[in-house]
Structure 1
């Protein structure tokens, strides 16, 4: 079930720590699709537990159901042994070198861009994606994100699994969040209080502050997507806001205050930042482990 890439066309491979020299072909945010199995949270615990001990011959009904899920997903054999992919996933979940956590909220509407047209979800919601990194692999567990299309109603009752080669970790994040090009801002938006931005991201009825520029006032009424990335180890944090089809904004809070600076981010810069976050998390992990 290992995939070489969830998002990029064949032939654009790049190792973590390097940046593609030409990304001009990226014309739009790509619709995200889960391709791996959907499993309950309890199934992952069973998978990791099999690393340490064999399953007993007599098992209770609830455990048997989890085992059946894992067998159907191709992670366990009929006799309770880890498959090749199951072993990679179990080891990565049990002892990851680093973890990239992404949380996202969006207020509904169609996500789109000026070139590629509409893509993604039309309902409001929240989502989460965890990317577990090993020396050679990236394992993601996630609920539907703002760019996820063709959502199975059952996805709300579990976590979808993806297994990728390590270098595709930043791509998985970009795909899930719907990161991509947008319509340029004519001027940088003014700073706003962080509580106000968070309130508007969760409730489109939240009014804008008085006196904001016309461009921001128009963007205020469009669909919002707010996503946050955290890394461990390294404890880095990145906060990004997308308003309608406009270019993403990197949010920062200078001097630890509650005011937010909103700086437009070009797709190339956003991609470099995602790659750098993954790389620095891995470097910090190696340093921690000596």
Structure 2
């Protein structure tokens, strides 16, 4: 048993011994459900929280339940994006009966807030337990590691999980639906009526049966919802950064007419209220980012400006002369980037970094049929056979940079320079890619040093 981390106070409620910071509230939130909540916050601020649920497993496997939980999130939440799905084993208590538990991460909208959820699922003594921790994307630097510690340090007395609650008997609880009732996955039998298809390669690596995650990415393709505006129109619009109105002849320009139709410009060539909002992230810019992606089929570009609490995001449109433009709360920018980059759950199998000559790397980016390196291991061959997309993010003020290769079912690989002008590709889980993305953007906006506790050896 590990010691409770400094600053956390163990509190007992029912079957759970929960380590919490001073001032946090613990309460029963319903049948077989506990809530652990951050101290009260001002109106309009999201209150971080952890919700614990438990039900009898009734023979459902971890893989089946976790699959249902992913499907439920996609079906029931507003604007969901599933980021990651990984193996996880609790530190305390007995080992999971049917292999390791699962850790999932996704983002969705709660009112105006872009909320990140870290969810852990595991089995103990015939009970399925789920812990879901919610915080906004902007609260990630302060909440993410804290919730991880709280989950790891909790202890469960499984003998107390089945006590009758709210006047309900055990027989009534079982008759009400067992594992499917009251849990985030919803009705297990309707959402996941059978055991999921398995990923043979990932199962061999894990030493236990793990589910195929390939379908998840297909369920959440990148959907560009921005308004389509021509590049000449946007260039004309940007000239209003430093003047009050367009000239008489410019107002008759087709580019100005398009801006008027979009509600950004008046007939007199001045900014509308919507136009003023549209310029805010650039006028009050705290940070701006350039992102480029390339693959064998072509490439795309995304730019993001963050300022005044808002983000302006432009990306390659359906026509080469057009851009798709969005104005969103600043906290939504990382999620938009994740969708654009295709960040999604994948079994990221650890192995030694792959080092390629620049010519070999460029050839592979340009053509999937490029020969693999000599004597590749099974992990390298697995990623080599997937479609590759390189994507990079650059802070346009400082030049700070990160790059990755998205190898689809084989997951993400961090891109970095290797010895002698070579290219180094290191496997990196989708969850860590998300952490790096969020922390990089946050540090850039706040003008603070970048700390990456999720990346061993990173020194900024």
TM-score of the aligned structures, taking structure 1 as reference length: 0.76
Q: 1:186 to 1:48 in 2, by over 3 A?
A: closer
Is residue 219 of structure 2 the alignment partner of residue 56 of structure 1? no
Distance 1:56 1:160, change over 3 A: same
- Which protein has the bigger strand share? 2
In 1, Cα distance between the equivalents of 2:273 and 2:247?
A: 21
CA distance in 1, matches of 2:288, 2:249: 35
**Distance in 2 (alpha carbons) for counterparts of 1:16 and 1:92:** 17
Greater alpha carbon shift after TM alignment, 164-173 vs 217-226: 217-226
1:39 aligns with 2:202: no
Tell me the CA shift for residue 262 of structure 1.
Answer: 2.3
Question: Does structure 1 conserve the Cα–Cα contact (< 8 Å) formed by 2:292 and 2:300?
Answer: yes
Pair 1:76 & 2:240 matched? no
Change (3 A) 1:16 1:56: same
2:31 aligned partner = none
1:218 shift after superposition: 4.0
The structure 2 residue matched to 1:180, chosen from 344, 365, 369, is: 344
SS at match of 1:54: coil
**Which residue of 2 is the match for residue 232 of structure 1?**
396
Q: Please give the residue correspondences for 1:185-264 in structure 2 after superposition, counting only pairs within 5 Å.
A: 185=349, 187-253=351-417, 257-264=420-427
Retained in 1: the 8 A contact 2:245–2:271? no
Does 2:369 correspond to 1:270? no
Following superposition, the deviation at residue 207 of structure 1 comes to: 1.9
Q: Which residue of 1 aligns with 2:313?
A: 140
Compute the RMSD of aligned alpha carbons.
2.9
Contact 1:233 1:284 in 2 (8 A): no
User: Is the contact between residue 233 and residue 285 of structure 1 (CA under 8 Å) also seen in structure 2?
Assistant: no
> TM-score of the superposition, structure 2-length normalised?
0.50
Q: Determine helix, strand or coil for the equivalent of 1:16.
A: helix
Counterpart check, 1:18 vs 2:133: no
Helix, strand or coil at the partner of 2:324:
strand
Name the structure, 1 or 2, with higher relative contact order (CA <8 Å, separation 6+): 1
Give the direction of change, closer, same or farther, for the CA distance of 1:198–1:239 in structure 2 (3 Å limit). Answer: farther
* Equivalent pairs, count: 253
